[in-house]
């Protein structure tokens, strides 16, 4: 791929003309919407379908999305840097231009930047062999922030190096079999071993003194955070980093465990290759050679005979970040919130991550603004959110959720997240299970951007051999505080499974225009799916939640767990509570059908619908545990928080996953007791959800036997 470090360059005239050709239709459609309706008709209130109105505003929208993305990516805009202010001002101006009421909220978290870094290769006698670059080949002009790992501590090392492949547990075990120790050495890894912070933590646990993580052969070097233990400002765990807030000291245990204990840094593939090619020691496994293009290399994994001289100096500082909101107040239920969010801060230019999503959010705002001016208003309040400092660990969204936790837990209907809206072909989606059917229904209404005559649903199903919806147990985007901490139903949407230029200087408008989405039709599809989801959740008389799907998904999880634990009796007991949840879902479904038939203006019906909707939105909160997970109290969701072990095979029931993986010095009896406690907590949470759906107090008097049998 050609070098693409100048996204401010204008797109080719013919391509831009092709995009802008339909752009003039926007004004025409807007005029038709505003002035072409019959007198007295209020869209969304007197027969006009809000979804049809929203989709009628699609012609030419891909051109306006492209124009927004071009402006958003005209320069780098990492949170807390001067470039961030310009992007914030642009987003705020576009939301106001849409006619929406806007709000901002500032926080002052601890952010982390690169102050200095150096790297050299030395002979065994410590004489200089070569200075090694710490820059990114894809950014020769140094226009963007130089590669670094946020929150990596300052440090220096002159030590032998060891190549650890991807830095996974299985790779470290392979080194053990070769008789190679990491103690006192620099670990050199190839990106791809899961969360980069986990790679560093595993190496530190084996005694490494520093970690270098190689970029790709295309010249990109992936920046990113290595903060441990969850999202949010590390000095204010559980409360907002507002002015005047209490902040923990760096010597506090809750703070210390958030930071890696050794320095680390991303480096180019060429730099890493130069180090690995100098190593001796046991022969390099054949399957490890491809990551650095070492297929013909006959060297070893190390250690020695060369030394690596590495220094890194971190610049930690309190920085001001700004979240931006646009609020459309609901007509009948203004105290119920449907929340859409995207972060706007980027490690580099951010054409994919995250401003493809920002441009989509601005188009959702544009359409909703036109609909408001036409007379439509939603039943429930819609909040559009532009988060700051996501790249440092979902800080903007986490601080806002922590500050407004009470309101959100009692009033939020759902959170709909779009981060990297477009990074390739094909829809990928994650959600909490009660939103699956809604998501599937909406994709049937949206034209596929790549296949003529097909809907997104058609190609989504074909691509995966059936609809595949991920469960959101990861912590890599802004849904994390909403789901894992607050228990709010969530959706996460994106096009394209992965992006090779992730967090590199290659994430530019030029890449998007040439490769990612030349006609911006995938952006258009994401915008339509996002907006239609919001309209259904904001307008449906009865919330479109399906807890049958939730019960079915929990049953699948339990079946997997039973295989892992030799079909223990305790897992069978959980099945009984899942059956109860399924029965409650059936009762709710029947009640919802009855309520939909009542006169929309009937007072008693309004109250009954309100009560049912409250039970539907609060059922997800039942999966929270007030004390949180053992040793990780910020994470409170017992079904879908991330497990402690970054390489865990279980992406559900995190407390159980943690208890299984924490071997340490525990006896079998102690481990079984820990697992038994976590099984009990999961079972009780499922029972709570069933009770909430029914609107009843718990009445389960049957004795429960949690005997545990685990595989060795």
The 3-state secondary structure of 555-620 reads HHHHHHHHHHCCCCHHHHHHHHHHHHHHHHHHHHHHHHHHHHHCCCCCHHHHHHHHHHHHHHHHHH
Q: Look up the pTM and report it.
A: 0.92
In a domain, 478, yes or no: no
Number of domains the chain contains: 3
- pLDDT for the residue 561: 92
Q: Say whether both 436 and 510 belong to one domain.
A: yes
Q: Say whether both 524 and 552 belong to one domain.
A: no
In a domain, 707, yes or no: no
Average predicted confidence (pLDDT) for the chain: 91
Q: Say whether both 569 and 526 belong to one domain.
A: no
Choose among 140, 115, 461, 607: nearest CA to 312: 115
Over residues 262-306, the pLDDT tens digits come to 999 999 999 999 999 999 999 999 899 888 888 878 889 999 899
Calpha distance 567→569 (Å, rounded):
6
Q: Say whether both 618 and 654 belong to one domain.
A: yes
Over residues 120-156, the pLDDT tens digits come to 999 999 999 999 999 999 999 999 999 999 999 999 9
- pLDDT for the residue 623: 98
Q: Say whether both 94 and 130 belong to one domain.
A: no
Q: What 3-state class would DSSP assign to 387?
A: strand
Choose among 7, 22, 3: nearest CA to 521: 22
In a domain, 37, yes or no: no
User: Which structural domain range is residue 418 located in?
Assistant: 50-109+320-470+496-539
Query: What is the domain-level CATH number for residue 328?
Result: 3.40.630.10
Query: What is the domain-level CATH number for residue 639?
Result: 1.20.930.40
DSSP per position, 195-232: -HHHHHHHHHHTT-SEEEEE--TTS----EE---SSSS
Domain end marker among 258, 292, 315: 315
114 token code pair: 């690169």
Calpha distance 572→585 (Å, rounded):
20
Query: What is the domain-level CATH number for residue 131?
Result: 3.50.30.30
Choose among 652, 543, 628: nearest CA to 591: 543
Domain end marker among 315, 349, 375: 315
In a domain, 712, yes or no: no
Is 287 an annotated catalytic residue? no
Q: Say whether both 430 and 410 belong to one domain.
A: yes
Q: Say whether both 101 and 120 belong to one domain.
A: no
- pLDDT for the residue 24: 44
Q: Say whether both 521 and 572 belong to one domain.
A: no
Q: Say whether both 506 and 401 belong to one domain.
A: yes
Q: Which helix (H) or strand (E) is 15 found in, with range?
A: helix 13-20
Q: How many helices (H) and strands (E) does the chain have?
A: 22, 16
Q: Is-cis flag, bond preceding 305, omega within 30?
A: yes
Active-site residue, selected from the candidate residues 390, 391, 403, 644: 390
Instruction: Estimate to the nearest angstrom the gap between the alpha carbon of 289 and the chain centroid.
Output: 31
In a domain, 607, yes or no: yes
- pLDDT for the residue 17: 42
Whether the CB-CB separation of 403 and 332 falls below 8 Å is answered with no
The pLDDT-based confidence of 669 (bands split at 50, 70, 90) is confident
Q: Which helix (H) or strand (E) is 16 found in, with range?
A: helix 13-20
- pLDDT for the residue 464: 76
The pLDDT-based confidence of 224 (bands split at 50, 70, 90) is very high
In a domain, 667, yes or no: yes
For helices 355-373 and 82-97, give the axis angle rounded to 10 degrees.
Answer: 20
- pLDDT for the residue 668: 80
In a domain, 22, yes or no: no
In a domain, 583, yes or no: yes
Over residues 348-407, the pLDDT tens digits come to 999 999 999 999 999 999 999 999 999 999 999 999 999 999 999 999 999 999 999 999
Domain end marker among 315, 332, 348: 315
Over residues 485-511, the pLDDT tens digits come to 999 999 999 999 989 999 999 999 999
Q: Say whether both 71 and 86 belong to one domain.
A: yes
Q: Which of 6-10, 28-32, 215-219, 577-581 has the lowest mean pLDDT?
A: 6-10
- pLDDT for the residue 700: 52
Q: Say whether both 93 and 166 belong to one domain.
A: no
- pLDDT for the residue 698: 64
- pLDDT for the residue 639: 98
* pLDDT cut 90: percent of the chain above it: 82
* pLDDT cut 70: percent of the chain above it: 90
Choose among 504, 486, 527, 532: nearest CA to 628: 486
- pLDDT for the residue 650: 92
The pLDDT-based confidence of 5 (bands split at 50, 70, 90) is very low
100 token code pair: 């929406």
Q: Say whether both 287 and 179 belong to one domain.
A: yes
């Amino acid at each position: 791929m050609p070098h693409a470090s100048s996204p401010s360059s204008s797109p080719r005239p013919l391509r831009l003309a092709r995009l802008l050709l339909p752009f003039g239709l926007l004004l025409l459609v807007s005029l038709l919407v505003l002035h072409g309706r019959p007198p007295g008709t209020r869209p969304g209130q007197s027969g006009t379908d809000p979804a049809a109105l929203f989709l009628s505003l699609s012609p030419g929208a891909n051109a306006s999305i492209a124009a927004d993305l071009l402006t958003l990516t005209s320069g780098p805009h990492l949170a807390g840097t001067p470039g961030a202010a310009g992007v914030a001002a642009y987003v705020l101006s576009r939301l106001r231009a849409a006619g929406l009421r806007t709000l901002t909220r500032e926080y002052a978290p601890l952010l982390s930047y690169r102050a200095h870094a150096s790297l050299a290769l030395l002979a065994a006698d410590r004489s200089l062999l070569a200075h090694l670059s710490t820059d990114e080949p894809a950014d020769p002009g140094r226009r963007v922030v130089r590669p670094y790992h946020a929150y990596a501590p300052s440090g220096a090392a002159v030590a032998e190096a060891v190549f650890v492949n991807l830095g996974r547990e299985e790779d470290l075990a392979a080194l053990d079999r070769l008789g190679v120790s990491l103690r006192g050495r620099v670990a050199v890894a190839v990106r791809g071993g899961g969360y980069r912070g986990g790679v560093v933590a595993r190496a530190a646990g084996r005694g490494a003194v520093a970690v270098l993580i190689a970029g790709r052969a295309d010249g990109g070097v992936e920046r990113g955070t290595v903060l441990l233990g969850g999202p949010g400002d590390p000095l204010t765990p559980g409360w907002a980093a507002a002015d005047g807030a209490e902040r923990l000291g760096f010597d506090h245990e809750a703070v210390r465990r958030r930071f890696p204990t050794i320095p680390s840094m991303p480096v180019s593939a060429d730099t890493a290759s130069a180090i690995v090619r100098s190593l001796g020691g046991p022969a390099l496994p054949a399957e490890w050679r491809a990551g650095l293009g070492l297929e013909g290399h006959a060297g070893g994994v190390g250690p020695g005979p060369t030394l690596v001289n590495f220094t890194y100096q971190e610049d930690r500082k309190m920085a001001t970040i700004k979240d931006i909101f646009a609020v459309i107040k609901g007509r009948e239920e203004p105290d119920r919130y449907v929340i859409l969010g995207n972060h706007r801060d980027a490690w580099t230019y951010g054409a994919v991550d995250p401003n493809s999503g920002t441009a989509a959010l601005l188009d959702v705002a544009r359409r909703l603004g036109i609909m408001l001016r036409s007379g439509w208003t939603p039943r429930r309040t819609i909040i559009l959110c532009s988060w700051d400092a996501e790249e440092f660990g979902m800080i903007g969204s986490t601080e806002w959720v922590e500050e407004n936790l009470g309101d959100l837990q009692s009033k939020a209907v759902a959170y709909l997240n779009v981060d990297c809206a477009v990074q390739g072909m094909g829809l990928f989606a994650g959600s909490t299970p009660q939103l699956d059917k809604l998501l599937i229904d909406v994709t049937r209404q949206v034209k596929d951007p790549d296949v003529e005559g097909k809907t997104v649903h058609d190609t989504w199903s074909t691509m995966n051999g059936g609809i595949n919806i991920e469960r959101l147990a990861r912590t890599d985007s802004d849904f994390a505080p909403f789901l894992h901490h607050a228990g709010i139903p969530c959706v996460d949407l994106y096009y394209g499974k992965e992006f090779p230029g992730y967090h590199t200087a290659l994430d530019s408008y030029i890449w998007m225009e040439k490769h990612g989405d030349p006609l911006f039709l995938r952006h258009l599809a994401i915008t339509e799916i996002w907006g239609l989801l919001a309209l259904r959740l904001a307008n449906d008389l009865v919330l479109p939640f399906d807890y049958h799907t939730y019960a079915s998904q929990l049953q699948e999880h339990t079946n997997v767990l039973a295989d892992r634990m030799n079909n223990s009796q305790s897992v069978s007991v959980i099945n009984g509570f899942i059956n109860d949840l399924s029965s409650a879902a059936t009762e709710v479904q029947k009640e919802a059908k009855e309520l939909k038939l009542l006169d929309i203006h009937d007072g008693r019906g309004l109250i009954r619908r309100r009560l049912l909707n409250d039970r539907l939105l609060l059922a997800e909160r039942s999966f929270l545990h007030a004390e949180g997970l053992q040793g990780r109290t910020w994470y409170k969701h017992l079904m879908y928080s991330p497990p402690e072990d970054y390489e865990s095979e279980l992406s559900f029931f995190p407390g159980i996953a943690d208890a299984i993986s924490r071997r340490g010095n525990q006896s079998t009896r102690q481990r079984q007791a820990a697992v038994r406690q976590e099984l009990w907590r999961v079972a009780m949470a499922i029972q709570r959800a069933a009770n909430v759906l029914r609107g009843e107090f718990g009445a389960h008097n049957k004795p429960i036997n949690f005997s545990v049998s685990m595989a060795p």
